Structure 1
């Protein structure tokens, strides 16, 4: 079970308790700052998993928007930031060096865009493998009571090739 607990049978999978960490704390955990920090809160986490919340998909100033829309594939960046936050939390809250996306596998898109969802995005990531030189995570982005995209990402850490 993730730290902080989660709702059972309601709330479209959104954690039922107040967030463990707010936006200011998230910005200390991820390498992205300002508008490029897409996550608003960490709802729950444990050694293997993290659940984060985001509202930035509705912001007209979201830096990932193109032609007035936020394509669903941009949810991958939300997931990558959740992975970075998870790595920092596992390292006692110390932000880690920015990693490099080395591969995406099995990515499934079930939506065209993210900005047309009224409620928050729930971003989940689960570490499948953690090594000194990188990580492999399974991820999912949910909103409006449904899964919007999911897949697997491999991250290489700098200087660890």
Structure 2
């Protein structure tokens, strides 16, 4: 039960920090906020056996896709948070260190680059986007921030 509680707290904190970072970067760049409704559409289509799309904007809308996107986004953050004590041991929850959190944060960009991006029609590692290296850099920076958020969440949990 401790692992579940810790994962919920740590993952929620880390994902919220990730989201705040995304909003900050969007405002600084004059760009729209991240669209979790499109992720919800993608996940919604998975329930019907469709895992790849040419363009999510043109994919058939899914009822409650925004809610689905946000819920799955936070659920994934919670699952990633669970990986740290499962890999480095439950002792990490009592004395969290930055290294494991950063490693998990950075490694998780792989899911975005190699699953989500191609599945949503953006190619491997955003290769089909107008500025692939900008998208990759922003994604990697966001996942470093997520890693820092995992550590911050663990510090809060361990208090």
Higher helix share: 2
Task: Give TM-score scaled by structure 1 length.
Answer: 0.30
Task: Give TM-score scaled by structure 2 length.
Answer: 0.30
**Is the radius of gyration larger for structure 1 or structure 2?**
2
Higher strand share: 1
